Amino acid sequence: MPSLRLLAAMLCVVSMCASTTAALAQSGGAKPAEPQKPAATAPADAAATKEGQKKIDEIAEASRVLTGAAGNPECVWLGRRVVSLLWRDDLDTAFRHLDLYDRFGCPSAHIQATFRCIVRQGNIDPKAPETLNGRVHACWLNPGLPPTPAAASAEPNAQSSDGTTAR
């Protein structure tokens, strides 16, 4: 029996040595990585920097224009996200953000007024997401913004210049 124990111990030692040698062989012969050349991402980096600066400028503008907590940077950032999420019908995420908004002591009445302003402005082109962001920003700064006149406010039976009626 002692020889079986010795044999088992020797097998364990040999298998551990073999696995260590294999691991060293795989990692030891690797060439050092060449320094990465800067890819053609400079335009993308510039665009991201420009977009980031635009957001910073919008938050700074809101801090200057608004008085009270609604102008605080955290209130502006969270509040605009809440209003955008409400518009896109992502209510679960909007309510989670709204909890954070309330936790920071931000005025919930400003969310309500801004969302009312967004709704009064009418539909937004879903293919142009910047339109939503711009409208949310404008309504955040001035929730009493008057509604934009609807482009299709013409009478349904109005006559065109050639005397025919549009139907």
**pLDDT per position as a tens digit, 115-152:** 999 999 888 877 776 788 889 999 999 998 888 765 33
Q: How far is CA 31 from the centre of its chain?
A: 40
pLDDT at residue 76, rounded to an integer = 92
pLDDT at residue 107, rounded to an integer = 94
Cα torsion at 103, 116, 114, 124 (round to 10°)? 120
Buried b (16+ CB within 10 A) or exposed e, 129-142: eeebbebbbebbbe
3-state secondary structure of 159: strand
Between CA 156 and CA 167 the distance in angstroms is 7
Residue 70 is classified by DSSP as G
pTM of the model: 0.58
In this prediction, the residues of the chain whose per-residue pLDDT falls under 70 are: 1-4, 6-43, 129, 149-167
Count of C-beta atoms within a 10 Å radius of residue 100: 13
Domain borders along the chain are 49-141
